Amino acid sequence: MTDTRGTKGDGKEPPDDEAALSARLQSLGDRLKTTSRPSEDVSGPRQTTDHSAMAKGFRLSTELVAGVLVGAMIGWLLDRWLGISPWGLIVFLLLGFAAGVLNVMRAAGVVRNTNLTD
């Protein structure tokens, strides 16, 4: 058995669907060349990372970690001083996490800083 799919005439011309596909691919290639996007082969300077965004991300992560660590430290110290282990650590670790999340939200601008005197 021979496979006769995709052959037309003497076999030198592609079938209509392949010809249409080739034409569409050529058209797409031409349109991509005319777009305003710079070529990737150009050896010009690349866009550098935005350092202010990296700094903001570092600040936000530091706010969260600091809140958790301070809460854990206070809880651990209360456990040692009052002998209520592990309840002080558990409670203040959760409070530290909540404070850290609140600080992250304030630093990100999601929650505005409120003063009690206003």
What's the pLDDT score for residue 106? 92
pTM of the model: 0.53
pLDDT at 8: 52
Residue 8 β-bridge partners:
13
In this prediction, residue 111 carries a pLDDT of 82
Q: Cβ distance 71 to 102 under 8 Å? A: no
Q: Quick one: pLDDT at residue 70? A: 97
84-100 pLDDT tens trace: 889 999 999 999 999 99
Which residue bears the tokens 């809880």? Answer: 75
- pLDDT-flagged residues of the chain (< 70): 1-14, 36-49, 116-118
Task: Give the integer Cα–Cα distance in Å for 19 and 30.
Answer: 17
Residue 87 · residue 79 · CB < 8 Å: yes
Q: Which H, E and C letters describe 48-107, residue by residue?
A: CCCHHHHHHHHHHHHHHHHHHHHHHHHHHHHHHHHCCCCHHHHHHHHHHHHHHHHHHHHH
Q: How far is 77 from 70, CA to CA, in rounded Å?
A: 11
